[in-house]
Amino acid sequence: MAGVRDGGTSASADAGGTRLTAVNNVSEPVVTREPILAVDVGTVVTRAYLLELVAGSRRLVSIGECSTLGDDGLPDVRGALTRALNQCLEAGGRTWADAPRERALITSAGSLPRVAVIAPSPEDAAVATAELETLPLVLLDPMVLDGAGLNPDVIGAFLESGSPDIVVLMSGSRGLDHERARAVAESVGLGMAGTVPYLILAGDIRQFDSLKLMIDNYLPGRHQLTRPEPQPILQAVGRRIMESLYQRWSDPVDREPLTSPSGGMIIHSSLHGIFVAARNVADRYDVDVLAVHSGATYTMASTYTGMLNARRGVNVVRDDVGAATGRLALLREVGASAISRWLPFDIDDAQLLAHARQAQMTPWRVPVTVRELLIDHAFGREAMRATLERLGRRFEPDRTWRGGSRGLASIPPPDLLIGSGGALARTPRLAQAVLQMLDAAEPTRLTQLALDRSTSMALLGVLGYMGGSLAVGTDLEHDVLLSLGICVAPEGKGHEGDTAIRVEVIYSDRAPLHVDVPFGVIEILPLPIGERAALKLYPSRDFDVGLGKGEAAAPRVEVQGGAVGIVIDCRGRPLVLPDDNEKRQAKLLQWFQALRAYPALSFVENGKADI
């Protein structure tokens, strides 16, 4: 796609609604803004960015990066800001004397607000959830006030177990009657006895005064109740989140290295910035986007789908299963076998637990052997899968989900899959990032792949909502998003060795390539960055690329090359690994070698390979 570095215009197939063609419904903006100096402060890593004006638009010129933690292992925000900014300015050929005056602080450091919704009916709860699911927060399952839900003890237990920072009280279309209002007021007193909740009453303003009096009886002087205003819940909660960001950085000493000469500064959430970047790319090119963020302390999945004028954005953030600091929680949630199934060697539960504890204590560590790298990637896969499962459940809220269920299958198929976060960006080989993204998201049919290799997607989003969805232009998107290529993943099941799909790649400057790809195999066909080719797909009768089983398909325009190439993923959907341990490990090694993602097995066994 045009906004993905060296990707150009994407391919679009007449395949069951798959839309990958870059569509610009408005003229490209002419950006004449000033240069900017920005810093993204994370819990583990701090990054600084210098954007200069090139041909009238902002371009990413240099990046500085260092640990947010000091030598003692404690946060050293001021020192991290100074070190990262010095690196960035030096690499960009600037000094502090001529540093840009416009500056921004982006942060994901600290905990995310936990938000609980209490509503009279499932419909009212769905309204609140739909508005909140785009914000950088941990959204708890809603409490519906019907039946046993009217018992203050039940509501109190719900609040106590979730420990929300913000409670949204929905009056609903029929209003909060006296019984429900009393139950809510009493339960807040029971469930939030040890904390000070921030309460937002959404709905009929006539409910405010009576509910406030009731809550005063149970929490005298220890609550914050926001009077309802004529604005969406989204804005009320969003404003509260922004207030917490400013409070977090209220000490000017900490942010002094980034303070502009005029004293002004913009503070934004990096997690919200990633969601906004995905939304803006979807709007600009009229494609369905799924972005998966794998960071040290947060794992996030964002999707933006639907028709151009009626898109739905859904955002799920997990602050408990980060790629480094959340491994112990992930082990408890999915079990050791879910992690070890992605490893081509034997490992016992005690070894996985020790590895998780080490990552928890030293999240900045870098793997020094291929074995350690593979374990890191196994945890990363499952963290993304767990987050995507929760994202999928947002699309079917009324369904009863059981253990081992696949909320993943409920996510609308994306046209563009974007990987972001340090855990993906720092992979020694791009094919490693591709495998993790495909194993976690399991995209079907035709999907463009992109990677935020510069870890600056949050900055792209922040600049977007500072000046509108088209304010950054496609040039900065080129700098941020690296096109990996296109993935063809036919849906269906077959027998090992039987042909799943025949692929024809018609190059402009050499002989065409004809490949039969068997079921259970993943292959890469060459199409480097800067090249174009026509693509023809001939699935076998049990497989579908969008037009029905056995129906051939061809993109309407030529596909463009990527840093990895054309990925043909015939491993099946859902992706199922063999139960037999030896067969599973052999299959993993086959996939790794097909993509040249990791060194040979002999290197894995002695753990001495350079990575």
- Integer angstrom CA distances of residue 238 from 106, 276, 465, 511, 530: 16, 14, 14, 55, 41
pLDDT tens digits for range 424-471: 999 999 999 999 999 999 999 999 999 999 999 999 998 876 654 445
The three-state secondary structure class of 487 is strand
Please state at what angle helix 473-480 crosses helix 457-467, rounded to 10 degrees.
160
Instruction: Identify the pLDDT of residue 32.
Output: 42
Tokens of 561: 């090359």
The arrangement of secondary structure in 114-243, i.e. its CATH architecture, is 3-Layer(aba) Sandwich (3.40)
Instruction: Identify the pLDDT of residue 174.
Output: 55
**Mean pLDDT for the stretch of residues 259-272:** 75
**Mean pLDDT for the stretch of residues 221-250:** 70
What confidence category does residue 224 fall into, taking pLDDT thresholds of 50, 70 and 90?
low
Instruction: Identify the pLDDT of residue 205.
Output: 67
**Res 372 pLDDT > 50:** yes
**Res 56 pLDDT > 60:** yes
CA–CA distance, 320 with 328 (Å, rounded to integer):
9
What is the enclosing helix (H) or strand (E) of 303? Answer: strand 299-305
**Res 228 pLDDT > 80:** no
**Mean pLDDT for the stretch of residues 259-286:** 83
**Mean pLDDT for the stretch of residues 125-153:** 78
Contact 105, 78 (CB under 8 A): no
Mean pLDDT score of the chain: 82
pLDDT higher at 214 or 554: 554
pLDDT higher at 509 or 64: 64
pLDDT tens digits for range 304-360: 998 767 788 999 999 899 999 999 999 999 999 999 999 999 999 999 999 999 998
**Res 48 pLDDT > 90:** yes
pLDDT tens digits for range 515-528: 999 999 999 999 99
Domain boundaries, the chain: 36-110+244-268, 114-243, 275-606
b/e string for 356-373 if b means 16 or more Cβ within 10 A? beebeeebeeebebbbbb
Residue in this structure with the two tokens 């839900």, named with its chain if needed: 149
**Res 17 pLDDT > 60:** no
Q: Strands across the sheet with 102-107, in order?
A: 57-67, 45-54, 36-41, 102-107, 266-269
pLDDT tens digits for range 92-113: 999 999 999 888 889 888 778 8
Whole-model pTM? 0.88
CA–CA distance, 201 with 487 (Å, rounded to integer):
46
Count of residues making up the chain: 611
CA–CA distance, 60 with 460 (Å, rounded to integer):
10
Helix, strand, coil fractions of the chain, as percent rounded to 5? 35, 25, 40
CB atoms under 10 Å from CB of 5, counted, come to 20
**Res 71 pLDDT > 60:** yes
Q: Strands across the sheet with 445-451, in order?
A: 312-318, 299-305, 289-294, 416-420, 445-451, 482-489, 565-570, 521-525
Contact 164, 132 (CB under 8 A): no
CA–CA distance, 7 with 485 (Å, rounded to integer):
8
Strands 482-489 and 312-318: unpaired
Cis ω on the peptide bond leading into residue 574 (within 30° of 0)? yes
Instruction: Identify the pLDDT of residue 373.
Output: 95
Strands 416-420 and 289-294: parallel
Please state at what angle helix 270-285 crosses helix 473-480, rounded to 10 degrees.
120
CA–CA distance, 129 with 137 (Å, rounded to integer):
12
| 36-110+244-268: CATH topology | Nucleotidyltransferase; domain 5 (3.30.420)
Residue in this structure with the two tokens 């929490």, named with its chain if needed: 219
Of 68-77, 119-128, 196-205, which gets the smallest average pLDDT? 196-205
pLDDT tens digits for range 160-176: 788 888 888 877 655 56
Tokens of 600: 């040979």
